[in-house]
A = this chain, B = another copy of it.
């Protein structure tokens, strides 16, 4: 017997048939603004964005007219910008080996001076296929990864709501997704350069990811600093070629342009189970790598210590979260989400006004427009936690100590402030009228990261 289509499913089906395409259409429409990314209608690019994200924003200079071949570019620029021509002359592009043809300016920038372009990774990839393929492959692993750095920055909720002068600074490092010269500086484009740690530190330094500091404090970094100038940087990054490892030796071993597939603890901002089946496979890769120089046991033990350090850090972080959440339940966070400027891409009319505490409630996008106590936790979670993490990962004991001492201090501070808030809360109940007089909302509501920017960015 044929079964009839169950009529009671018709309504949800219709809703789905309408809403899903509408949603896709809305997102698509949203992306077609003057800016870029998911909120492209809410901001406009600054001129400098052309250089951080050339694919979307670069416009050729048109002060020179004409179509030129490579030799002509070089001749003229030898006088105009001799430094970059000198760099190029030293590069393999200018002195190709064997059958290869010289790679001229025009091969990457184009010939027509009124329609030049800044080379994006796919331009480099037209010759350096393997490296480009590995680089793009990172996308499969989600963020953080170099090749997603730009689009995830532009899609971040706070991108449109934060003042342009500040988000511009973000794009400088996130431009690593848009151009290869973040690591292989133009116009030498040297592999040897990118094997050295300095190629990474322009971006990987300072909180929240003190890779710079922790590497250079480690024994590995110390050996590099003292003796690196005598190492042969033309050699590939493999076993026996270097007296001590650099960033690239461990994270891009054998020159593989893929740093995401071996990552266990990832960015350190949410707790990760390091002992899933997949992570145990990665762990073996790490132990093999460390064993280029160290005992296998030593390598395994170091990773176990890192597990222990991470577990310890999360114990502290969860404790702080629970203090904050308990204050939230008792409505003692001051100013509350209702009293202060709203979160990025939210508005006063939104139904949900609550304090976001911890990674899963979306705190990452909410480190401003929060109360002083929530900000304290943000710093504990984002800066101090990652200080300890990178110390553990790179063999810098001083940063483990620094991070944990800072977290201890923050936890104490949060407890202390929580006590005060509870105490003051009691008092306030007794003097409600007085409180009305000084009307704290007025002071707080006037936030900097609000619709103002959305309209003017």
Contact = CB atoms under 8 A, between A and B. Distances in A.
Interface of A: 46-48, 50-51, 61, 63, 81-84, 86-87, 163-166, 168-170, 172-173, 185, 188, 193, 196, 198-199, 201-203, 205-207, 212, 217-219, 222-223, 225-227, 229, 239-240, 242-243, 291-298, 300-302, 304-305, 308-309, 311-312, 315-316, 319, 323, 334, 367-368, 370-372, 375, 379, 391-392, 395-402, 404-405, 408-409, 412-413, 415-416, 418-419, 422-424, 426-428, 431, 434-435, 437-438, 440, 443-444, 448
Nearest to A443: B415
A203 B398 contact: yes
A242 B426 contact: no
25 contacts: A46-B301, A46-B308, A48-B302, A61-B296, A81-B294, A83-B292, A165-B312, A166-B309, A169-B404, A170-B397, A173-B397, A173-B398, A185-B219, A185-B223, A198-B225, A198-B226, A199-B222, A202-B217, A315-B448, A319-B448, A372-B412, A379-B409, A419-B438, A426-B434, A426-B438
A372 to B, nearest CB: 4
Closest 6 CB pairs of A and B: A82-B240, A169-B400, A172-B397, A165-B308, A165-B312, A198-B226
Contacts of A165: 305, 308-309, 311-312
Contacts of A405: 367
A397 B172 CA distance: 7
B207 A81 contact: no
A240 B83 contact: yes
Contacts of A404: 166, 169
A176 to B, nearest CB: 12
Given A81-B293, A226-B198, A243-B86, A207 B304 contact: no
A305 B217 contact: no
B202 A219 contact: yes
A166 B400 contact: yes
Copies in the complex: 3
Given A82-B240, A196-B226, A423-B424, A48 B217 contact: no
Nearest to A392: B169
Contacts of A431: 426-427
Contacts of A435: 423, 426
Given A48-B304, A165-B309, A293 B84 contact: yes
A413 to B, nearest CB: 6
Nearest to A311: B165
A367 to B, nearest CB: 8
Given A81-B293, A296-B61, A222 B198 contact: yes
Nearest to A294: B81
A423 B432 CA distance: 11
A197 B199 CA distance: 18
Contacts of A227: 193
Given A202-B218, A205-B398, 14 more contacts: A46-B304, A51-B301, A61-B295, A61-B297, A81-B293, A164-B308, A166-B401, A169-B391, A172-B397, A173-B398, A193-B227, A205-B217, A319-B448, A375-B412
